[in-house]
């Protein structure tokens, strides 16, 4: 896994006509809402797609100020922007978002974001610091490898049973 979009929980073919990352141009609506205008749709019995995370919101569609930090709150099929964003109804924005199947609650999305911010972000900071300093904490990485192996065993990832279930290396 190299990025958040690699997680198998997100929309992707053949259940959806695209995804997990989509890019689209949207018009800002009343209440400074940006609605899902991605055109991503479910195929067959798949659950309708929803926006899991906005990765980028650019004013003027091609080259403008990045506004993703001005998101006030996520809603079912839109986000509400802060008044500090400088947007007004009728403005065009270019959006890049991650899409996931709809769910009756926000728990899966919250777990994904929590995983990224609580577990992966500190790990990335540690790796970058070690690259700058040129030294590695061997004990930390031994402990990390032990925990990763315990997790693999507990989940069955990478073993024969996981391969038969279609879960190997996911």
Q: Domains in the chain: how many in total?
A: 2
Residue 15 and residue 99 in one domain: yes
Last residue of a domain, one of 104, 128, 146: 104
Torsion of CA 15, 55, 26, 59, to 10 degrees: -160
pLDDT at 168 over 50: no
Q: Is residue 146 part of a domain?
A: yes
Q: The whole model's pTM is what?
A: 0.60
Residue 18 and residue 72 in one domain: yes
Residue 65 and residue 82 in one domain: yes
Peptide bond into 69 cis (omega under 30): no
Residue 93 and residue 127 in one domain: no
The two structure tokens encoding residue 108: 């899966």
**For the chain, what is the mean pLDDT?**
82
CA distances from 62 to 24, 27, 33, 92 (A): 11, 14, 19, 10
Residue 80 and residue 58 in one domain: yes
What is the tens place of the pLDDT at every residue in 32-54?
A: 999 999 999 998 888 888 888 88
Domain range for 8: 4-104
pLDDT higher at 6 or 94:
94
Residue 91 and residue 16 in one domain: yes
What is the tens place of the pLDDT at every residue in 141-162?
A: 898 899 889 888 888 887 654 4
Q: Rounded mean pLDDT of 60-64?
A: 66
């Amino acid at each position: 896994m190299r990025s958040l979009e690699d997680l198998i929980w997100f929309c992707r073919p053949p259940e959806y006509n695209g995804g997990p990352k989509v890019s689209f141009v949207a018009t800002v609506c009343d209440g400074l809402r940006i609605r899902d205008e991605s055109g991503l749709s479910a195929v067959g019995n798949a659950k309708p797609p929803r926006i899991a995370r906005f990765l980028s919101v650019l004013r003027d569609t091609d080259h403008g100020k990045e506004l993703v930090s001005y998101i006030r709150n996520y809603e079912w099929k839109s986000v509400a922007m802060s008044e500090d964003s400088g947007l007004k109804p009728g403005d065009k924005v270019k959006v890049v978002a991650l899409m996931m199947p709809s769910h009756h609650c926000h728990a899966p999305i919250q777990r994904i974001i929590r995983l990224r911010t609580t577990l992966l972000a500190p790990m990335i900071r540690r790796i970058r610091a070690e690259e700058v300093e040129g030294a590695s904490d061997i004990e930390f990485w031994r402990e990390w490898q032990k925990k990763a192996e315990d997790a693999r065993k507990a989940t069955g990832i990478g073993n024969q049973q996981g391969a038969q279930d279609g879960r190997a290396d996911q």
